[in-house]
Amino acid sequence: MLSEIYPIKFLFTNVDRYNKTYDTELSRKIEGLDGVDYTVVKNYHGLSLGAMKATMGDYDVFVGGSWDTLTDLIETMIYFVVVKIRRKPFILWREDWDWNVKSLKRSLVKKFAGFIGRNVDAVLVPGTKHREFFTKLGVKTENVFIMPNVSNIEAKEQDKLNRAQIQEELGLENKKVALYVGRLIDLKGVDYLIKGFKGVTEKLDDAVLLIVGEGPEKPALESLTSKLGMDGEVIFTGNIDNSKLGAYYMVSDLFVLPSITTYFADACPLVVNEAMYFSKPVITSDGVGTTFMIKEGENGYVVPERNSEALKIAILTVLSDPELIEKMGLASKKLIETKFRYDNMIQGFNQAIEHVQNK
């Protein structure tokens, strides 16, 4: 959609690292980008030399920047210096927010983020939580633009057939289903969810927790489930065919994301968008960057991170009330349709472009 407005050249980097992290199989050809001018750049020892070379070419504005790893940080400094020397506009696009972890590494990253943010022409962020992070670091409010992350998930006719199949295979008929979708890693805090759900099943004997995903924490989480005597109440599906993801959202009554903060944090996970698109109430911890998408008591709840008791209370509140499930689900759908679609994303991008043009 952006390519229909601007003659954009897209450079995608770190595909190999992405594949390793998310167990995907992205290739040099990206589905859905026919007619778009893009290149998937090879990395050499972590560095995207092709992307660095491109900063010497012909362009009107540079958009990007990262410091998730040391090589990302080095690259961004090179981009910054070259773009500044060439007197080109630099738009920083980041998902950082202030989770205030006290560590030397985190402190240095915040200083770097502040330096870059204050010295570029505009900053693109996905939400208000991220905007506050940069303004606290001294970036002028008028230089920060919200370009919400959106998901390209769509409901398909096949989803209804897959839903019936999943319900039958997993024995979910007439069950109240809470759903988690994501990697099974420390950051996601799934152990706190399982402990909290133990209290839910003591009140609701037809409640089931469905955990979709794989990761290094899976054996420990399965062991915790058995230790708590919840083998029939917590179902691990492992990785699923992505074409069936919509059906899993349809099966559920509620979506839960209990992420915790370490040096890293859950920046802006698209599973929240996906659940809301499928008209689901959403409960997240305050360790998730998408809390601005949840209107407290309207389409879900935000609870303190690492708090199983708070998760239990919030889940019980929703699953115990069919009318609330429907009401919150409709509110989620309305929010997605009005504020988190591609038109909203492009509007934020255009505002940043116009800003640097005016400067």
Cβ distance 145 to 347 under 8 Å? no
If you average pLDDT over residues 146-153, what whole number do you get?
94
Which residue, chain included where needed, has tokens 């202030």? 98
In this predicted structure, the answer to whether residue 70 has a pLDDT above a threshold of 90 is no
Q: Is the Cβ–Cβ distance between 339 and 147 less than 8 Å?
A: no
Please report which helix (H) or strand (E) contains residue 38, including its range.
strand 38-40
Buried b (16+ CB within 10 A) or exposed e, 231-269: eebbbbbeebeeebbbbbbbbbbbbbbbbbbeeebbbbb
User: Regarding beta strands 122-125 and 90-93, do their DSSP bridges make them parallel or antiparallel, or are they unpaired?
Assistant: parallel
Q: How far apart are CA 126 and CA 3, in angstroms?
A: 20
**What's the pLDDT score for residue 46?**
73
Q: Decide: 283 and 293 in contact? Cβ < 8 Å.
A: no
Q: What is the mean pLDDT of residues 320-348?
A: 96
Q: What superfamily would CATH give domain 2-150+341-353?
A: Glycogen Phosphorylase B; (3.40.50.2000)
Helix 70-85 and helix 104-119, axial crossing angle in degrees, nearest 10: 20
**The token pair that represents 107 in the structure block:** 């402190």
Phi, psi of 124 (to 5 degrees): -100, 130
- Summarised one tens digit per residue, pLDDT across range 165-224 is 999 999 999 999 999 999 999 999 999 999 999 999 999 999 999 999 999 999 999 999
The DSSP output letter for 237 is E
Percent of the chain with pLDDT strictly greater than 70: 99
- Say if 2-150+341-353 and 157-338 have the same CATH topology: yes
| Alpha-carbon distances, residue 68 vs 37, 53, 96, 217, 263 (angstroms) | 26, 21, 10, 22, 11
Instruction: Tell me the whole-structure pTM to 2 decimals.
Output: 0.92
Average pLDDT, the chain: 93
pLDDT higher for 61 or 102? Answer: 61
Domain residue ranges of the chain, discontinuous segments joined by +: 2-150+341-353, 157-338
* Percent composition of the chain: helix, strand, coil (DSSP 3-state, to 5): 45, 15, 40
Residue 41 has pLDDT above 90, yes or no: no
* CB atoms inside a 10 Å sphere around CB 49: 14
Using one digit for the tens of pLDDT, what is the confidence trace for 248-269?
999 999 999 999 998 888 999 9
3 state DSSP class of 70: helix
The answer, yes or no, to whether residue 327 has pLDDT greater than 90, is yes
**pLDDT band of 28, cuts 50, 70, 90:** confident
Phi, psi of 67 (to 5 degrees): -145, 30
Fold classification of 157-338 (topology level): Rossmann fold (3.40.50)
Contact 22, 49 (CB under 8 A): no
CB atoms within 10 A of CB 10: 14
What mean pLDDT comes out for the span 75-81? 93
